[in-house]
Amino acid sequence: DTAVSQTPKYLVTQMGNDKSIKCEQNLGHDTMYWYKQDSKKFLKIMFSYNNKELIINETVPNRFSPKSPDKAHLNLHINSLELGDSAVYFCASSLQGDYGYTFGSGTRLTVV
């Protein structure tokens, strides 16, 4: 299936831990994004990569570090997790010069 796939779907962890979320797309897109959706459903962009290069880096704590090994993958590593990091994190992709975003199904992160 052509899609944007994220793993894991659910992640429960303790404060202070370090965790990673992986994202892969097989759509041939060259731009990938990480979004955070809070409990009120607001979508906030965190990062955007185009052909493995960082092009958008919103005001996000430096505990969050994206890594793009190739244009089909964009992973998110989070250090020293805090309660406020609990949210659903969405990966998305698009073609450069195209507005159409395809979202993954999300990773629900719960920090206890």
64 binds other proteins (CB under 8 A): no
- Binding flag, residue 10, other proteins (CB under 8 A): no
Pick from 56, 79, 80, 82 the residue near other proteins by CB under 8 A: 56
CA distance 7 to 29: 19
Candidate list 2, 62, 69, 99; residue touching other proteins; CB under 8 A:
99
Helix, strand, or coil (residue 93):
strand
Position among 8, 15, 55, 82 found at the interface with other proteins (CB under 8 A)? 55
- Determine if 68 is a binding residue for other proteins (CB under 8 A): no
Burial per residue of 9-35, b for 16 or more beta-carbon CB atoms within 10 angstroms, e otherwise: eebebeeeeebebbbbbeeebbbbbbb
By CB under 8 A, tell whether 17 contacts other proteins: no
